[in-house]
Amino acid sequence: MGAGSNSPVGASSPVGSNSPVGARSREAALGAARLIHEHKGEDTVVLGIGDVSSFADYFVISTARSSAHLAGLHRELDAFLRSQGIRPLNGGHKSGGESGWLLLDCGDFVIH
């Protein structure tokens, strides 16, 4: 996110982002980033990694302020993803216990 910016910034667009599937993935990744940003996630960015990655087209990265904040973001993201018809491939698992981080593999994009 740029200084003084009010919304997440996409770094680049992957090849194929003009296709209907690519556009849907892009919009879902940006929607997730907006939700995180609106719920006080810090330093939220969306990276277009499709040109250099075989596992995803977008990577959404943000920082939560506490484990309670992270749990709240996880609940909000779960509701958002369900509303978009997206089920994380990894079931939305965190690294064991109170790890302090979350990884959601949404197929065409990943949220960390």
Write the DSSP assignment of 40-83 as a string of letters: T-EEEEEEE-TTT-SS-SEEEEEE-SSHHHHHHHHHHHHHHHHH
Evaluate whether 59 touches 46 at the Cβ level (below 8 Å).
Answer: yes
- Strand ranges of the sheet holding 104-105, from the earlier edge strand across to the other edge: 9-10, 42-48, 58-63, 109-111, 104-105
CATH superfamily for 10-111 is Beta Polymerase, domain 2 (3.30.460.10)
Say which DSSP state 5 is in. -
pLDDT at 43: 96
pLDDT at 3: 39
Local mean pLDDT, 10-residue blocks, the chain (112 residues): 45 48 88 97 95 93 94 94 90 60 92 92
pLDDT at 1: 36
List the domain boundaries for the chain: 10-111
